[in-house]
Amino acid sequence: MPLHPYRTAGYGRTFGDLFPVHVSGTVAVGWLKRPIPETDTFDLAGPYPCLSVSDHRALADEVMSLRGTGAVSVVFVTSAFEESSVARDLARLTICRPFKTHYLVRFDRPWREHLSAHHARELQRAARNGVEIRIFATNEGYADTFWPLYEVLIARHGIAGIQALGPQIVAAQFGLPGMLAIEAVLGGEVIASSIWAHDDREAHLHLHAQTERAYRLCAGYLLYEAALDHFSTRLAQVDLGGAAGLADRMDDGLGRFKRGWSNAMAQTYLCGEILDEDCYRALTEARGAAHSAFFPQYRSP
């Protein structure tokens, strides 16, 4: 089985349509070189949605070595599956703090035992609509099917920035080994699709998008059910992700939806390092962000 896509430098390179990518070779990470507005400087960021490695001590060393790149700072979000080693091995960085709660499903027990009553009812309702489920490994060409669905999501929620991706980025990601599509088809039309990034132990829900018709038919419930049935006999656990936005919100609808499937929770971490202290201080002071909790402070919204 190939490496999990998130654990390859090739995954970071898929964002090359948006940013230049720096790969050092010390660890398999493609760092995104982001221009800092109104300056001739740049900083580095891990790929979206998270950075995943097998050795966080080596990652900490890699972060320190980035001082030689000319970047002002580096920031990244870790995988929820790596919570314990992140807290232990990345604590020496400038920033290493809990970021968002993610909802997991662990397959050491039947996943339906923890399904919420609400989700069970919605599954019964959705099952009556004649939706067909298909499961297959993606390729670059599948972006032609998925991207129109993702455009619905972008318009519905006003998605912008790196999360908006782009058809070229999606195509490059779908060409990586370890990407799986689970799609809902009705009357010959693909109305919803979930993309999962996985290896032989764990999977992340990578992308999910659907048409307005699929929302009305609750087709998303069928995709989650199919994914959990599929992975439950193959993997140890899956990560469904967290609530929408940059903070944990218990009243968030997406968070409630994911919580209804999960039987465990884990923490992602926001990690970062100041690589050029003088430049970082000057940029932060120029933007009046010295008291911001955001990192890097000079990008405080």
Residue 255 token pair? 């968070």
pLDDT in tens, 235-250: 999 999 998 877 777 6
> Do 226 and 284 belong together in one domain?
no
| Residue at 138 is within a domain | yes
pLDDT at residue 254 above 90?
no
> Do 37 and 93 belong together in one domain?
yes
pLDDT category at 126 given cuts 50, 70, 90 is: very high
Please, where are the H alpha helices in 127-268?
143-157, 167-174, 212-217, 219-232, 253-259
Domain harbouring 65, CATH code: 3.40.630
Query: Which of 94, 98, 96 is closest to 276 using CA atoms?
Result: 94
pLDDT for the residue 2: 82
pLDDT in tens, 168-183: 999 999 999 999 999 9
Contact 1, 199 (CB under 8 A): yes
pLDDT at residue 218 above 90?
yes
| Residue at 210 is within a domain | yes
pLDDT for the residue 108: 96
% of the chain beyond a pLDDT of 90: 92
> Do 38 and 97 belong together in one domain?
yes
For residue 50, the enclosing domain spans 5-101+268-299
> Do 53 and 140 belong together in one domain?
no
| Across 106-129, average pLDDT | 96
CA 258 to chain centroid, in Å, comes to: 14
Buried-state track 197-224, b at ≥16 Cβ within 10 A, e below 16: bbbeebbbbbbbbbbeebeebbbbbbbb
Q: What φ, ψ does residue 33 adopt, rounded to 5°?
A: -90, 105
> Do 46 and 80 belong together in one domain?
yes
pLDDT at residue 186 above 90?
yes
pLDDT for the residue 101: 95
> Do 92 and 161 belong together in one domain?
no
Domain harbouring 202, CATH code: 3.40.630.30
| Residue at 242 is within a domain | no
State how many domains the chain has: 2
> Do 177 and 284 belong together in one domain?
no
pLDDT in tens, 67-112: 989 999 999 999 999 999 999 999 999 999 999 999 999 999 999 9
